[in-house]
Amino acid sequence: QSNAMWGGRFAAGPDAIMEAINASISFDKRLAAQDIAGSRAHAAMLAATGILSDTDSRAIREGLLTVLSEIEGGRFAFSTALEDIHMNVEARLKEVIGEPAGRLHTARSRNDQVATDFRLWVRDQIDAAVAGLRALIAALLAQAEAGADWVMPGFTHLQTAQPVTWGHHMMAYVEMFARDMGRFADARVRMNECPLGAAALAGTSFPIDRHMTAEALGFDRPMANSLDAVSDRDFALEFLGAASICAMHLSRFAEELVIWSSAQFRFVTLSDRFSTGSSIMPQKKNPDAAELIRAKIGRIMGANVALMMVMKGLPLAYSKDMQEDKEQVFDAADNLMLALAAMEGMVRDMTANRPALAAAAASGFSTATDLADWLVRALGLPFREAHHVTGTLVALAERKGCDLPDLTLADMRSVHPGIRDEVFGVLGVHNSVASRVSYGGTAPDQVRAQVARWKERLG
């Protein structure tokens, strides 16, 4: 038997395979709350504009609440034959309130309906991502404040470069995650326009009030072009783009935690609550959460690329291809929220191993730049020459199997006779970090100032 919603011109119902490829209810049932909110706003507007009687509008809006409570209570029988969430809800509404249910779809299409539902859903996810980032940043600020003057090695090429502070390293991620927050917030502003009332593609001849529905659903305004309203999924792509960049940041930090928690580094100890063991090796404590966060970028970025590919060849306006937007965004959002929460938990719980950080900070000739800078400042050498002198001293220390502060003054003078005893003052790592007072530098006072600035900004 043919479909009750559009069966008028059909003699036969769909093949089972047709039904299987066409149906989206298995996943778009996640839009139920948004779908019902959109329908209730639409029904209220239809009454306010005199398109629907108050009695019918009220029956529809109350019936929709009944349907919502059935869905939320797990008492709703979803039907694949009814294709998607929109038709599932409407069909059930008909069972609950009877004839007036058929009037709800006046001046509306599933095309503007789904675009509205999905925008509402993505908007909520943006708010959730911002909240998750906020919590993660709070955890990083706590780490940074505690360790504003703990020294650790700073790396380039993962080779010892110059000493930095633990707080400075944590604050680098605060900056990145704060920009992620900004990207989500920017996307939210752009996407917060309402497609409802665009109808199938051309608008409608009914005297609807699109400003009213837009306002009821918390949008800033209705979308200005009905073709655009039902056609584009750029808002979902912006969400996925922001999510991909955020996941990339999470992944880099996760990679550092994997390295730092190894027996070779021992920079941090992850809590038992955010580690796992091995079924065969009794000594193991594995950073699985960090590894999985590192892996999540793959599926989040994958979703971004997949949806871009779905959209790139579609002529205006709606094509069924666009039904493939949801699973990608659902999966990416779920995994982003999980990754943010897991990272927050790990950061909150982890313990920095101060002695190991300090020992590592002092190794690898990390203050060679400080020595070269001293040669420039105290002896007036051109930086290039100071660089060469210092390199020669590093080679000498390497031959002697010691670090720069372990060289004797005689060793130093053998390379440059002008070197004086005070040079040893600049070779200590604490001195080194304390001297990096340029704005944004690693000096503890700079770090504390940045912590205070962010605390004030985030309230």
Binding site for ligand ARG (CB under 6 A): 24, 28, 84, 110-111, 114, 318, 320, 322-323
For 222: left if phi > 0, alpha if psi spans -120 to 50, otherwise beta; the answer is beta
Q: Which is nearer to ligand ARG, 28 or 370 (CB)?
A: 28
The one catalytic residue among 157, 205, 279, 438: 157
Structure tokens at 97: 């309130």
CB of 205 to ligand ARG, least distance (A): 19
**Closest approach of ligand ARG to the CB of residue 118, in Å:** 8
Sign for the pseudo-dihedral over CA of 260, 261, 262, 264? positive
Collapsing DSSP to helix, strand or coil, 159 comes out as strand
Nearer to ligand ARG by Cβ, of 108 and 387: the residue is 108
Least CB distance to ligand ARG at residue 86 (A): 6
Helix (H, G, I), strand (E, B), or coil: what is residue 341? helix
Structure tokens at 37: 């909110």
Half-sphere CA count of 168, side-chain side, radius 13 A: 24
Structure tokens at 451: 């912590």
CB 107 within 8 A of CB 43: no
Residue positions counted in the chain? 459
Q: Report which DSSP code applies to 269.
A: E
**Has 26 been annotated as catalytic?**
no
Q: Which CB sits closer to ligand ARG, 221 or 320?
A: 320
Residue 333 vs 340, nearer CB to ligand ARG: 333
- Least Cβ distance, residue 323 to ligand ARG (angstroms): 4
Q: How many helices (H) and strands (E) does the chain have?
A: 18, 6
Q: How far is the CB of 325 from ligand ARG (least distance, A)?
A: 7
Q: Point out the catalytic residue in the list 79, 278, 319, 363.
A: 278
Q: What distance in Å separates the CA atoms of residue 105 and residue 19, rounded to the nearest whole number?
A: 23
Q: Do 197 and 210 form a contact (C-beta atoms < 8 A)?
A: yes
- The least CB distance from residue 39 to ligand ARG, in Å, is 14
Farthest CA pair distance, the chain: 101
24 or 213, CB closer to ligand ARG?
24
Nearer to ligand ARG, 82 or 139 (CB): 82
Cβ 434 vs Cβ 152: under 8 Å? no
**157 part of the active site:** yes
Strand residues in 282-332 grouped as ranges (E) = none
* Amino acid type, 375: L
Task: Identify the helix (H) or strand (E) that includes residue 156.
Answer: strand 151-156
Q: Which residue numbers are catalytic?
A: 157, 278
